[in-house]
């Protein structure tokens, strides 16, 4: 038997890369999911109890709205430094910083919960930690999961974030139903933030023993070189426009959910349930649609379907008055809208390669947070004399149609196409 020549060895096709799957990846992901969920809970706390908080703190409607809006403003300032930490020092260091800020200021917010000035200061401290956590979603997926599981991993992380929103929207009106109960509720949430932060710091690891991607996938550009490359990518820019609209719509609707429904006779508790239905169905969508995206190895078609599905739900919230029908409309909107994010983050990580994942996520979220600020103030400016938000909601529905049109022009990433061969 003759040994193969050197030329034959070099000409032979390389063995396909197979990632070794480690069970510990689920532990790391779960720890990340917990701190992600608590962050969202702390962000949305005051949205469903705007009226009660106004009375307790003796503040205006807009001042209470600022307790949520401040997260978007701070995000724009901190996002790129946070992405630099994620892509340079690793997600464990970055998320550890975010977790520590969340735990400390979350607990302080509870201890000092009777004073509006201190509550606002603590909100800012919690908000500083947010981009260190949110911008790391794609990085955690890339570090610990093979390509065919990454949209699923991102979807599960966002699922827990949405569960945090559900808890805030549904539980807060129950726990803080009276003015005197607000500080006690903030203490409960503060304890939850300390537990989640401690758990992440205890069990998280930066890398598995072996890489989860091919050597080509593991190549990463420098942060600023990657940023310049991403901004030259047609598909990355198109999805940024979609995300600008989508996250702006979600932030606007979730921030003003009580005031949107109040003119139609919907109580604060019912508004919390409607907002909770929107996010709860988003949890389901984030579990199902990214899995299908991984299963069929397609991102663009699922993004298009999800955006189309948002429109009837948004129109239902705009025109319907029946509580059961509003629940259904909110569920439809949440199922499709919130499932778009995990697919979109993974899509942009793929089309932006070799740009670092933290940077691509940071750019996307910065666009979305900026739009959230614009949409929140715009909705307040366009509301009717009686407080009706029909006009701004119709405008949001029109923008969602624009997002659908843009999504038609997205092309599948070369990385995903290559994985099908």
The predicted-structure confidence for 357-370, as pLDDT tens digits, reads as follows: 667 777 887 888 78
Look at residue 419 in the predicted model and tell me its pLDDT.
Answer: 64
Look at residue 228 in the predicted model and tell me its pLDDT.
Answer: 66
Helix (H) or strand (E) holding 226, with range, is helix 223-230
Higher pLDDT, 192 or 73: 192
Look at residue 206 in the predicted model and tell me its pLDDT.
Answer: 86
Distance CA 382, CA 207 (A): 49
Look at residue 11 in the predicted model and tell me its pLDDT.
Answer: 47
Look at residue 10 in the predicted model and tell me its pLDDT.
Answer: 44
Look at residue 192 in the predicted model and tell me its pLDDT.
Answer: 95
Q: What's the mean pLDDT in 335-356?
A: 80
CA-to-CA dists, residue 239 to 117, 221, 317, 356, 405, angstroms: 38, 21, 25, 17, 11
Greatest mean pLDDT among 72-76, 138-142, 249-253, 393-397: 393-397
> Which of 62, 22, 32 is CA-nearest to residue 46?
62
Report the CATH superfamily, name and number, of domain 24-205+221-413.
MFS general substrate transporter like domains (1.20.1250.20)
- Residues 165-208 have pLDDT tens digits of 878 877 888 888 777 889 999 999 999 999 999 999 999 998 88
**Per-residue burial over 211-229, b = 16 or more CB atoms within 10 Å of its CB, e = otherwise:** bbbbeebeebbebeebbeb
Look at residue 341 in the predicted model and tell me its pLDDT.
Answer: 81
Distance CA 274, CA 259 (A): 12
Q: For 256-413, where are the alpha helices, taking DSSP H only?
A: 257-261, 268-296, 300-319, 323-351, 357-382, 390-407
Q: What's the mean pLDDT in 363-378?
A: 83
The alpha carbon of 332 is separated from its chain's Cα centroid by a whole number of angstroms, namely 18
Contact call for residues 226 and 163 (beta carbons, < 8 A): no
The alpha carbon of 385 is separated from its chain's Cα centroid by a whole number of angstroms, namely 33
Copy the structure tokens of residue 42: 């702390």
Copy the structure tokens of residue 321: 């008055």
Contact call for residues 66 and 168 (beta carbons, < 8 A): no
> Which of 206, 198, 326, 193 is CA-nearest to residue 258?
326
Look at residue 219 in the predicted model and tell me its pLDDT.
Answer: 44
Distance CA 346, CA 325 (A): 33
The model carries a pTM of: 0.74
Which of 154-168, 249-263, 343-357, 367-381 has the weakest average pLDDT?
A: 343-357
288, with CB counted inside 10 A (0-12, 13-18, 19+), is: middle
Higher pLDDT, 136 or 178: 136
Higher pLDDT, 95 or 268: 95
Which of 224-233, 346-355, 364-373, 400-409 has the weakest average pLDDT?
A: 224-233
State whether the Cα torsion 17-23-28-32 is positive or negative: positive
Residue recorded with tokens 């401290």:
125
Look at residue 394 in the predicted model and tell me its pLDDT.
Answer: 94
Length of the chain: 421
């Amino acid at each position: 038997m003759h040994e193969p020549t050197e030329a034959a060895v070099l000409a032979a096709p390389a063995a396909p890369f197979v990632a070794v799957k480690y069970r510990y990846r689920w532990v790391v992901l779960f720890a990340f999911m917990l701190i992600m969920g608590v962050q969202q809970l702390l962000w949305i706390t005051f949205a469903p109890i705007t009226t009660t908080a106004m009375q307790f703190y003796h503040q205006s409607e807009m001042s209470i709205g600022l307790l949520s809006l401040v997260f978007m403003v701070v995000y724009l300032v901190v996002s790129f430094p946070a992405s630099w930490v994620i892509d340079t020092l690793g997600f464990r260091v970055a998320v550890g910083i975010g977790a520590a800020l969340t735990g400390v200021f979350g607990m302080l917010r509870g201890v000092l919960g009777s004073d509006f000035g201190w509550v606002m200061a603590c909100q800012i401290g919690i908000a500083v930690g947010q981009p260190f956590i949110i911008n790391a979603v794609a990085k955690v997926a890339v570090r610990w999961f093979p390509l065919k599981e990454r949209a699923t991993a991102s979807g599960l992380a966002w699922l827990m974030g949405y569960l945090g929103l559900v808890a805030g929207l549904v539980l807060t009106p129950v726990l803080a139903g009276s003015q005197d109960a607000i500080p006690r509720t903030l203490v409960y949430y503060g304890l939850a933030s300390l537990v989640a932060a401690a758990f992440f710091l205890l069990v998280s690891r930066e890398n598995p023993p072996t890489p989860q991607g091919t050597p080509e996938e593991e190549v990463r550009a420098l942060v600023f070189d990657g940023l310049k490359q991403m901004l030259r990518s047609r598909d990355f820019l198109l999805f940024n426009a979609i995300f600008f609209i989508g996250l702006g719509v979600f932030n606007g609707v979730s921030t003003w959910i009580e005031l949107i429904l109040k003119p139609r006779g919907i109580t604060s508790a019912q508004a919390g349930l409607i907002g909770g239905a929107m996010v709860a169905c988003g949890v389901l969508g984030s579990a199902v649609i990214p899995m299908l995206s991984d299963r069929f190895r397609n991102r663009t078609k699922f993004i298009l379907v999800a955006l189309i599905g948002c429109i009837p739900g948004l129109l239902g919230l705009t025109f319907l008055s029946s509580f059961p029908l509003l629940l259904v409309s909110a569920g439809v909107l949440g199922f499709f809208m919130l499932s778009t994010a995990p697919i979109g983050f993974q899509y942009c990580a793929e089309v932006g390669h070799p740009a670092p994942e933290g940077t691509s996520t940071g750019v996307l979220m910065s666009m979305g947070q900026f739009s959230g600020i614009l949409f929140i103030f715009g909705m307040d400016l366009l509301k009717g004399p009686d407080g009706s938000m029909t006009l701004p909601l119709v405008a949001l529905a029109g923008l969602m149609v624009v997002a659908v049109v843009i999504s038609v022009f997205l092309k599948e990433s070369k990385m995903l196409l290559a994985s099908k061969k």
